[in-house]
Structure 1
């Protein structure tokens, strides 16, 4: 009679502590190394593992070859390449969000599991008494199944249904059964979440590989168009060391660098054309009320464009955030070092994908003073967008980029000095909008759902 009671105490109070640790770490407990000679079964197992590894390697090589063929088939078709880049970057960011959400759910479920275990642990006396009553009152001794919460739950439910529990213990038995049921359900949910998380991580690795190949192809094509690209990039870094502030850097780039000056010229020309177009549409709107409709995200769907789809000033409420993250500093607040925040700061996960929040021309891409890696876009109409804190930038000066196009990746820690000053260990992206050299609040430009994401 004592054996099943002790088994139940072991599972209900400690409830598989070592198993929980293994689940939490996503690992299995390996046996101690054997000093004896390797058995034929062990040799066979190792051969099977080696064969499986070879099969995985072959599969990866075939997938890589297929990807290269797909990219080669795009040729010089800029529209298709842009479409693939933006769609794949969007997939990466979507899976990043799913992984974050799954990790948050797992944290909650693990907390509830710990609470259930603690509750069962506090009810040892009830468990002992109820199980003892089961053994005394039952027609036969309960089988020794109580090695898992599932077994304890089944035994209690069966006894209650058969009326084997004396009336005064029935309520307590039902309470314990309820708690065990919750623990069993939690374990199932945790297992399902871990499986989904593993699947999402496999998916993001595949998408990241694809994205890296697409970015390499985009930059290869860009380099073939800009013969002096490397020399100009080096010159840009040299120029950046000669100026003391961001406005000076922007002016210096657009004045002294051929590609950046060309980008600025194109931005100004595009802004004039867009203004003329909007003026014409405004006149037509008087005769056609439909023309007054506010533009939506669909305005960015043309992947073949080589100038902004809309005037930056008219893009309020339409722009996506450049990275998945939580806002830790807002425009106008403290910057952590005694000054005022001129943009927003987003805490991200290591390795997060960074995409462009708007259409624009790259006028600077590289390190700059306390900003770490800095990317500056000329969005036209006197507007510039500054993005800083990335580990690696994947676009070049003079390049025109589309809204949502991948341009950089985050590192593992903060690269921005003002964030480092507050001992922030996670990577942080800094985003700043400027109009005619003056920082402005980017809040009105973010799409409504993006504004919800970054509420601090």
Structure 2
């Protein structure tokens, strides 16, 4: 069962990466290139994550088998010696005993009892050796797919960034008052004060009307804006004793960050000690803060459909297939080196995201 799980999960992951490569080619002529490339990048992320897990399982399984071999090396050596001596001895001589017919009968009875056990052990040993060979071949075969997957993911991200920059079909509800924004950035000393003054730093375009779905109807069902795992919940204290009214989400380098709900972009750029920040307005009175990104997409005032990319996390993908394989074997979230801070605010006050998001760990 363990063998089937280890090999199957890695093989499925390799198929996912091949499908992502096909999607990248298809995105070239897609009508909505941004949407197509967004799905492609996410497909690469899912495929690489699945391959990482599959290789981790394969490495664990291989180590477990080798551990058994090492722990029982002396007994296995004796078993192999017995099997070799049985195979090397002529069959008639095995039936003879120096004590005569009575000894031969006793030896035959003992042999008839021992032989099935030896056969079972030999079969188990053969299966284990075959499994090790299969797992090793699987890991070697995954290297080529992995190299193509890492390169394809980077190409998809680059193409997505270009497609977002060239996009002209989104309505724009607001424009930035540059002087007011600069004053706000220089005077705000907290996220709360910045969010409070944000409305006065943007000017609404009265000629643009956009119908927005009821955000409150999505309460408890929102998808995570990034593939990752919540490592610090709402109002929890971190190691430095800092308490923040939002979630800290651990994720992998360069992971795509998307809008969990149709929203207007109210701010994009650096902010205090939060790094690169995107602030979205999913509905009147609500602000969703996404902080800690490495790259930002879009322009302030644009109305983004649900699932639209707003940026990429920072960091760098594994520099080589060897580095990727090492992180896969380590597992335990060792590759989730980036953190996204997410805060949801309503009428100027933060609210617990737990009540709004369908929390999941990946």
Residue of 416, 436, 440 corresponding to 2:351: 440
Q: Answer whether contact 2:250 2:336 (CA < 8 A) is retained.
A: no
**Is 1:364 aligned to residue 275 of structure 2?**
no
Q: Answer whether contact 1:349 1:427 (CA < 8 A) is retained.
A: yes
Q: Secondary structure at the match of 1:430?
A: strand
1:369, distance to aligned residue in structure 2 (A) = 0.8
Match of 1:240 in 2: 185
Q: Answer whether contact 2:228 2:250 (CA < 8 A) is retained.
A: yes
Q: Answer whether contact 1:320 1:404 (CA < 8 A) is retained.
A: no
**Is 1:123 aligned to residue 72 of structure 2?**
yes
The answer to which structure, 1 or 2, has the higher relative contact order (CA under 8 A, 6+ apart) is 2
Structure 1 residues 193 and 209 mapped into 2: Cα distance closer, same or farther (>3 Å)? same
**Per-residue CA shift, 1:43-90, capped at 9, x if unaligned?**
xxxxxxxxxxxxxxxxx9xx99x889x46xx7xxxxx43xx3234323
Structure 2: state its 5+ residue gaps. 1-20, 91-107, 317-334
1:101, distance to aligned residue in structure 2 (A) = 3.0
Match of 1:334 in 2: 237
Greater share of helix residues, 1 or 2? 1
1:225, distance to aligned residue in structure 2 (A) = 9.5
Q: Secondary structure at the match of 2:315?
A: coil
Match of 1:113 in 2: 62
Residue of 126, 138, 143 corresponding to 1:192: 138
TM-score (structure 2 length as normaliser) = 0.70
1:441, distance to aligned residue in structure 2 (A) = 1.2
Q: Answer whether contact 2:184 2:197 (CA < 8 A) is retained.
A: yes
Q: Secondary structure at the match of 1:212?
A: helix
In 1, Cα distance between equivalents of 2:296 and 2:179:
14
In 2, Cα distance between equivalents of 1:341 and 1:122:
50
Match of 2:342 in 1: 431
Q: Secondary structure at the match of 1:395?
A: coil
Structure 1 residues 437 and 370 mapped into 2: Cα distance closer, same or farther (>3 Å)? same
Match of 1:56 in 2: none
Structure 1 residues 121 and 322 mapped into 2: Cα distance closer, same or farther (>3 Å)? same
1:397, distance to aligned residue in structure 2 (A) = 1.3
Q: Secondary structure at the match of 1:380?
A: coil
In 1, Cα distance between equivalents of 2:115 and 2:75:
9
**Per-residue CA shift, 1:366-420, capped at 9, x if unaligned?**
111111111101122200100001111112211221211111111128xxxxxxx
Q: Secondary structure at the match of 1:439?
A: strand
Match of 1:152 in 2: none
**Is 1:354 aligned to residue 238 of structure 2?**
no
Structure 1 residues 201 and 244 mapped into 2: Cα distance closer, same or farther (>3 Å)? same
In 2, Cα distance between equivalents of 1:196 and 1:190:
10
Structure 1 residues 106 and 67 mapped into 2: Cα distance closer, same or farther (>3 Å)? closer
In the TM superposition, what are the counterparts of 1:213-228 in structure 2 within 5 Å? 213-222=159-168
In 2, Cα distance between equivalents of 1:318 and 1:192:
38
Q: Secondary structure at the match of 2:340?
A: strand
Match of 2:297 in 1: 394
In 2, Cα distance between equivalents of 1:224 and 1:379:
15
**Is 1:382 aligned to residue 263 of structure 2?**
no
Match of 1:254 in 2: 199
Q: Answer whether contact 1:362 1:378 (CA < 8 A) is retained.
A: yes
Structure 1 residues 208 and 399 mapped into 2: Cα distance closer, same or farther (>3 Å)? farther
Match of 1:212 in 2: 158
Greater share of strand residues, 1 or 2? 2
Match of 1:156 in 2: none
Q: Answer whether contact 2:279 2:287 (CA < 8 A) is retained.
A: yes
